Amino acid sequence: MKQYRKMTPKAIVELAAPPSWAAAVCPVFVGTALAYALEGAVNLLFSFLLLCIAILMQSAVNTINDYFDFVKGTDTAANCVDVNDASIIYNQINPLSALFAGLAMLGLAGLVGLYLIIMTGLTLLWIGLAGVAAIALYSAGPLPISYTPLGEAVSGFVMGGLITYATYFALTLSGDWLIFYFAAPTILTIGLIMMTNNTCDISRDIEACRYTLPVLLGKKRSSFLLAAAYILVFFTVAHLAFWEFRWGSLVLPLLAFRIYPGIKTMFGLDFNHLNRIIAMKTTVKLAYQINFYYTLIILLGAWIGG
């Protein structure tokens, strides 16, 4: 019988994968800014609680996905060069302990969410259940979403769209579907984080029979699409700035200056598992930069234009 090491706080943090928390942090900040800009609503406690829920759910996604990748044999010591990206393997922890840790994170998110549901109504409950369903379908089942070309779209919509919408609703009690349009930069950047990860993992995904979007497109086209998509995101932000948050458009030159090095790196990078650390750091940094300046654009548009 294989001997496992005891689960440690360090292993739990590695399973939670803090570098990926951009997918949780950015939507809450953008949703909070939109609530203030469009409705004048401010509730720092609710924003903080929503941030906690989003981080816990993102951590649960990472942990549960690592569990299923391990038990299916997708993740091995040979193809996971980043120690922090394969906590189950390198810490030699019981995979069931990792699964329970992921479920515990979901449980904590539910407990925090219960308070917000009591304070705001059942809408957040339905959004939360949709998020939990997405987590389950993404990693588990006979055909997980992560094994299909829909992974980028689903992760972008659920994390970037639903969390932004949930944040806006909790702060304003208004269900304006136009928020999904305003959330376009966040949806796109989170989808691109996932696509960067999958592009670097093309070779091992082929071995595991995972038909992700980059696997279908091939490395060359996926690499070009990744870099070019960030240019599209910039113009999406510019469009929203000029259309709705006009004074915020003053920030656009600074945004372009800050993201140029990252986009240049993306165009020149050979996306493979050896360069995965560089690629992920670059794409996460771009996501933070774009969403930070987009949040600033929204706030400036409200402060000066309002």
pLDDT at residue 75 in the model: 60
Identify whether the C-beta of residue 145 lies closer than 8 Å to the C-beta of residue 137: yes
The angle subtended at Cα 36 by Cα 32 and Cα 38, nearest 5°, is: 115
CA 55 to each of CA 20, 181, 194, 217, 306: distance values in angstroms, whole numbers, following the listed order: 9, 23, 16, 31, 32
Checking if the pLDDT of 14 tops 90, the result is no
pLDDT at residue 74 in the model: 64
pLDDT at residue 274 in the model: 79
H-assigned helices in 201-246: 202-207, 213-217, 219-243
Residue 93 β-bridge partners = 5
Average predicted confidence (pLDDT) for the chain: 88
Residue (of 184, 155, 169, 179) closest to 127 by Cα position: 169
Phi-psi region for residue 48, left (φ > 0), alpha (ψ -120 to 50) or beta? alpha
- When pLDDT is averaged across residues 111-129 and rounded to a whole number, the result is 93
The pair of three-digit structure tokens given for residue 40, joined into one six-digit string = 């004048």
Checking if the pLDDT of 91 tops 80, the result is no
**Band of residue 79 on the pLDDT scale cut at 50, 70, 90:** low
pLDDT at residue 296 in the model: 96
Q: What pLDDT, in 10s, does the model give residues 121-146?
A: 899 999 989 988 887 888 777 788 88
Checking if the pLDDT of 56 tops 90, the result is yes
pLDDT at residue 205 in the model: 85
pLDDT at residue 107 in the model: 93
Checking if the pLDDT of 78 tops 60, the result is no
Q: What pLDDT, in 10s, does the model give residues 34-53?
A: 999 999 999 999 999 999 99
pLDDT at residue 132 in the model: 84
Q: What is the pTM of this model?
A: 0.90
Identify whether the C-beta of residue 52 lies closer than 8 Å to the C-beta of residue 112: yes
Percent of the chain past pLDDT 90, that is, above it, reads: 57
**Band of residue 189 on the pLDDT scale cut at 50, 70, 90:** very high
Percent of the chain past pLDDT 70, that is, above it, reads: 94
The angle subtended at Cα 88 by Cα 28 and Cα 288, nearest 5°, is: 25
Checking if the pLDDT of 1 tops 60, the result is no
Q: What pLDDT, in 10s, does the model give residues 161-179?
A: 999 999 999 999 988 889 9
- When pLDDT is averaged across residues 97-122 and rounded to a whole number, the result is 92
- When pLDDT is averaged across residues 101-130 and rounded to a whole number, the result is 93
Give the integer Cα–Cα distance in Å for 81 and 83: 6
**Band of residue 12 on the pLDDT scale cut at 50, 70, 90:** confident
Give the integer Cα–Cα distance in Å for 21 and 256: 23
